[in-house]
Structure 1
Amino acid sequence: MAYFQQTGPATYLPTEHVGGAWDPDEQHIAPALGLLAHVVEQDRDLRRDDRLLPARLSYDIWGTVPMEEVETSVRVLRPGRTIELVEATLSHGRRTIVTLRAWLMSTTDTSQIAGTHVPAAGQPTDVEKWDPTTVWPGGFIAAAHVRRSEIEPGRATFWVRTDETLVEGQQASSLARAAGLLDISNGMTVRVDPRTVAFPNLDLTAHLMREPVGDWLGFDTSVSFGAQGVGVTSTVLHDETGLLGTMSQILTIRPG
């Protein structure tokens, strides 16, 4: 099973597992974010052999996209020997849907000075299974395996994995697979019933210290609503070996 089938050199058709949470007839944007990370890494590997790490993934979400074929493109904005800035675009027809600007960085061994004050997240088995389809419709949510400990509405720690690959017949990296799960964060601990208030995100920026390890991606998430129709979802990311990075999303709050 996969989220996309490749139909041409840069075109991809979504499968049923991409169905959206706000509208099942539209694509959930999460798999598209993973797809863009995947094509950035494919482009990198065609141009060079040093596997620069995509350490920052900064996505802007321009709009919604139906469950139809999309096209991708990649260009290098700032070439370099040890650091690159790359831009990838996903479009439907002639309309831009998502842009990604990714900083790619060379890696070196700093294990002797590695450390953090961020508390450990534990393991997926430390929290109970939770069914996200009790809150959200759509093929993407139905395909997600979730374990969650909710402290209160809008505040939770949870782990997510999926059995689906990004692109049928292709081996995506652990980073690209994780990128395809990042956007689930905003919906796993809702402050209010999404049937009465919509709160889609306009962007997503993740800073990653390394490539993820294992199948499970851990989220320590807080959702905040302001008084002027704007909110923020803030997340600390983990995998089964420890701290992975951080992520944030800006929300547009739309009472029904």
Structure 2
Amino acid sequence: MPEAFYLPLGEGRYEPTRATESPWDSGAQHGGPPTALLAHVIDGTAGADMRLARVSVDFLGPIPRHEVRVEVSPVRPGRLISLSEARMIAGDRTVVVARAWHIATGPPPPVTGERLRPPALSEPGTGPLRPDLAGWGYGRAIEWRYTHGGHGTLGPAGVWTRVRIPLIAGEKITGLARTLIVADSANGLSAVLPMQEWLSIPPTMTATLARVPAGEWVHMAARTRLSDDGLGIAHATLCDPDDHLGEVTQPLLVRKR
């Protein structure tokens, strides 16, 4: 197991390790780690009383698994709300762009809405597990405990996830990173067509977060719905053992291979 998803090289540069490896191309990164890295860097520029409330990430092509650099710039500075943008650049090409809204925290409101009651934490090895996960970097870097569905099972899926390693070597992983490393997996978890025969490509992912998890575990309840003209939407509801965390949405390009 690599020591982290990324090794810091200084001056905004990072070396992705095998933990970022895509299941479809060993030379490319899965979308989850780049999403978490860009959000983490943006979050480091926000004030102490600001919390990331939404991040939208656009994947502009395959994300190579070699040295990248990250640049951040403000879009709409503000005291109560702010919008920032981060770019992941490989060589001379921008491969991922993320925009994140931060909202200032404040006193608790008198009501918070209906509580989401998460499923019980499953036992290790719960649910079907594809044998090829043993050789897939991103798959091995996360512990998956299914509450329904599973790898190789088509349709809706529920799974408890625990990221096993830090996002960046030498830094303690945050609750935000734990959430976003797995958020881009909604489509893969809940595919309704066999991926060996059908492409299901999310060019972008949006995560809207009410809060971050209090501990190591994040549950994803994922489902996918397809239209009759080659598009679809993957959606996941996120929670921790206490309550609701947020929502994930991915539009999909669906084509037969």
Same-fold status (TM-score > 0.5): yes
Matched, 1:123 2:124: no
* Structure 1 runs of 4+ with >6 Å offset: none
1:122 counterpart letter in structure 2? P
Matched, 1:63 2:65: no
Shift of 1:41: 1.6
Match of 1:244 in 2: 245
Is the Cα contact below 8 Å between 2:122 and 2:160 reproduced in 1? Answer: no
Match of 1:14 in 2: 16
Q: Which of 1, 4, 9 lines up with 1:2 in the alignment?
A: 4
Shift of 1:24: 1.9
Q: Which moved more, 1:69-78 or 1:165-174?
A: 165-174
Q: Which moved more, 1:102-111 or 1:76-85?
A: 102-111
Is the Cα contact below 8 Å between 1:132 and 1:188 reproduced in 2? Answer: no
Shift of 1:126: 7.3
CA distance in 1, matches of 2:181, 2:74: 22
Shift of 1:21: 1.3
Alpha carbons of structure 1 residues 135 and 219: separation in structure 2 relative to 1, 3 Å: farther
CA distance in 2, matches of 1:255, 1:97: 25
Is the Cα contact below 8 Å between 2:70 and 2:86 reproduced in 1? Answer: yes
Q: How many residue pairs are counted as aligned between the two chains?
A: 251
Report sequence identity in percent: 29
Shift of 1:147: 1.3
Shift of 1:135: 6.5
1:30 counterpart letter in structure 2? G
SS in 1 for 2:201: coil
Is the Cα contact below 8 Å between 1:131 and 1:146 reproduced in 2? Answer: no
SS in 2 for 1:198: strand
Shift of 1:43: 2.1
CA distance in 1, matches of 2:248, 2:238: 7
SS in 2 for 1:166: coil
1:43 counterpart letter in structure 2? T
Match of 1:192 in 2: 193
Alpha carbons of structure 1 residues 241 and 31: separation in structure 2 relative to 1, 3 Å: same
Shift of 1:132: 4.3
Match of 1:112 in 2: 110
Match of 1:83 in 2: 81
TM-score by length of 2: 0.91
Shift of 1:111: 5.0
TM alignment of 1:181-220, pairs within 5 A: 181-220=182-221
Matched, 1:226 2:227: yes
Structure 2 stretches lacking a partner, 5+ long? none
TM-score by length of 1: 0.91
1:251 counterpart letter in structure 2? L
Is the Cα contact below 8 Å between 1:229 and 1:254 reproduced in 2? Answer: yes
Alpha carbons of structure 1 residues 131 and 170: separation in structure 2 relative to 1, 3 Å: farther
Alpha carbons of structure 1 residues 3 and 108: separation in structure 2 relative to 1, 3 Å: same
